[in-house]
Chain A
Amino acid sequence: QSVLTQPPSVSGAPGQRVTISCTGSSSNIGGGYDVHWYQQLPGTAPKLLMYGNNNRPSGVPDRFSGSKSDTSASLAITGLRAEDEADYYCQSYDGRSASWLFGGGTKLTVL
């Protein structure tokens, strides 16, 4: 069981908006540590999707956005497209254990 909790799955129709939550605690997200998001397409390595809570690397469409509040963070995807179907992972740092943490991952299905 991951210290950062994500829903196992979310789904949406093309064009719709979905959000993926990532819930931590006072020793990680709530402790002021930044949250990053990774997208993993089937059979490939994870790819950085969002860093520092709400910053997109070059090449990531602005359909993706991130936010953070208290002990949680969220990734929002608008205008869903078939190619967004992937696993999404949140990541933060835990000051108590001095460890980088990943959420358990959320599988996005585009209906």
Chain B
Amino acid sequence: QLQLQESGPGLVKSSETLSLTCTVSGGSLSSSSDCWGWIRQPPGKGLEWIGSFYHSGSTYYNPSLKSQVTISVDTSRNQFSLELSSVTAADTAVYYCARHEYIGYYYMDVWGKGTTVTVSS
């Protein structure tokens, strides 16, 4: 059974870079059609897509976050990572990684449990 687990520091200082890793178990990042990505949820607010990468190697980012975000993948470790630079208090959120399964269209069928990141001044 496919499982995703987020990991990384729970506290990041303002203006620094937030770095998180998603470890995939029970499946492979090298799947020919799936897509993998990051979503966040600020306290008491809704979900916001951050960015995703396709099996082809292409990455796509939320236009509102594009200047801050980098998503990378390490297939040898079955992990993918998120870097968010120059963080502010507005980046405090629960961060989720998720698989986007493809069956002619994508949908996020498997999610990690999420990891809470607080940006401190």
Chain A residues engaging chain B, CB cutoff 8 angstroms: 2, 33-34, 36, 38, 44-48, 51-52, 57, 89, 91, 93, 97-105
Contact = CB atoms under 8 A, between A and B. Distances in A.
Contacts, number: 58
Contacts of A44: 113
Contact of A101 (B49, B96, B107): B49
Interface of B: 37, 39, 46-49, 52, 60, 62-63, 96, 103, 105-109, 111-114
Contacts of B47: 38, 46, 89, 91, 102, 105
B60 A98 contact: yes
Given A36-B107, A38-B108, A52-B107, A45 B46 contact: no
B25 to A, nearest CB: 16
A23 B56 CA distance: 32
Contacts of B60: 98-99
Contacts of A104: 46
B108 A105 contact: no
Given A34-B105, A52-B105, A47 B111 contact: yes
Contacts of A100: 37, 49, 52, 106
